[in-house]
Structure formats: C-alpha cells, structure tokens
Chains A and B, each alone.
Chain A
Amino acid sequence: RKEVEQDPGPFNVPEGATVAFNCTYSNSASQSFFWYRQDCRKEPKLLMSVYSSGNEDGRFTAQLNRASQYISLLIRDSKLSDSATYLCVVNPWGLSGNTPLVFGKGTRLSVIA
C-alpha cells in the first residue's frame, strides 16, 4: 500500500462550485498533515496544515480522521485561480519537522468559467 494515496482527478468544476478532495495515509503513527498547492511548472506551496480538530481558512476547510487515516480538503465557492494540483502531504515520523515529508501524487483541479 502506498504511503499517501489520492485520487489524481482531474476534477473539472464550474466557478462557484464546492469540491472535496480525499487522501488516505498508511502510517498510523503519523502526526502532522498538510495540503500543498502546486501550480503548473512551479514549486509546491503550503496551503494549510491539517489540525486534529479540523481547521478552516477562508473558503478552505481541512479535516483529519485518525481512525480511518483519512484527510480531506473542501473548497467552497471555487475560483478560476484555484485551478492547480493539490498535494496531500504527511510527516510520517511524528511532530518534529526535522524529517522529510511524504507526498501524494496530487489531485488536479480545473475550475471552469
């Protein structure tokens, strides 16, 4: 089983739609989780960390389900500028950031006018 699995998409949604991405991870000891966004031919940029209780940042909501080893990202009121690849990222070795991250392959989102 891969360490971090995501649906690759693409998800093609109209402007204003709500879209949700899911991700599963295999290491139950993982402690920290992130969503990164990667635009075409650019480096990944941190979108948001995922906290145990779930967290929201504007139109973006992240949820963590430890029992199911499942992470989600919800985007409300999609904008054209949200078109990108969304990477589910896990630190499998605990809370220390001094360890490398494990990346999912990404879910591609296209928001259409």
Chain B
Amino acid sequence: SAVISQKPSRDICQRGTSLTIQCQVDSQVTMMFWYRQQPGQSLTLIATANQGSEATYESGFVIDKFPISRPNLTFSTLTVSNMSPEDSSIYLCSYYQASSYNEQFFGPGTRLTVL
C-alpha cells in the first residue's frame, strides 16, 4: 500500500479560528476520503474528496464548515472553519487502493482540540 501522511499530527486551537489539515499520499490514488472520529466513537465520513471537482459531503456536513481541496491525485486538504469545542476530534484521511480487494487505508490522523 502507498504511504499516507497527515499534517499537523495534532493542534490546539482557539474557538472561532480555522485549521487546515493536509493529507499526502506517495502515489496517485483515485479516491480520497475525510473522516472524523470523536472521543469514544467510531469513524464518521465527512466527505469524499474528488479530484477536479467539488467534494461530496455526507449528511450533516457542509462545505462552508469543512471546505476540501483535491488539487491532484496525491494530495488533499480539509479545513475546519470557525471552530468550536464540539469540533474537537481526530480527523483522518483515507484513500482507496484500486489494485486490492477495495480496501481503504488511513492516514495517522490529526488530533484537534478546540478551547
């Protein structure tokens, strides 16, 4: 599988600010996804990052709050805008490996704390 990395690994932010998380894969991948994992919970999909078009958001998530970029086949960003303490979570990107049994592989996550 390709190597997938995220930056930053963690951050502590003030209410009302925004944070952009970067996700880099070391080879071209078709699809990238952004998930959120709140404390003690499982993963919830935020959106699918589509290369060359707008991201596809899941119910409960909107572009104004979570703008996503996918400028090429190896990179994506997720911005958490106008943060509140409820946004404190781990944010994970993943990619789909077309050559295998449709598995998805995850980045190491970004642990966000909003004060």
The answer, yes or no, to whether A21 is at the interface (CB within 8 Å) is: no
Q: In the assembly, what is the distance between CA of A96 and CA of B107, in Å?
A: 21
Query: CB distance B45 to A100 under 8 Å?
Result: yes
Residue of A nearest to B109 (CB): A43
Annotate B84-115 by CB proximity to A: 1 below 8 A, 0 otherwise: 00000000100011100111111111010000
Q: How far is the CB of A53 from chain B (nearest CB, A)?
A: 13
Contact A105 B96 (CB under 8 A): no
A43-B109, A98-B96, A100-B33 given as contacts; is B45 within 8 A of A32 (CB)? no
Q: Which residues of B contact A87 (CB under 8 A)?
A: 42-43
- Contact residues, A71-107 vs B (CB, 8 A): 87, 91, 95-98, 100-101, 103-106
**Chain A interface extent, by class:** 20 to 34
Interface pair B102/A32, CB less than 8 Å apart: yes
**Could you tell me the distance between the alpha carbons of A2 and B104 in the complex, rounded to whole angstroms?**
21
Instruction: List chain A residues, Cβ under 8 A from B92.
Output: 43-44
B77 within 8 A of A: no
Distance (whole angstroms) from the CB of B80 to the closest CB of chain A: 18
A44-B43, A87-B43 known; 15 other A-B pairs, CB under 8 Å?
A: A32-B102, A42-B109, A43-B106, A44-B92, A49-B102, A49-B103, A97-B104, A98-B96, A100-B45, A101-B43, A101-B45, A101-B104, A103-B44, A104-B42, A105-B41
Residues of A whose CB lies within 8 Å of any CB of B are 32, 34, 41-46, 49, 87, 91, 95-98, 100-101, 103-106
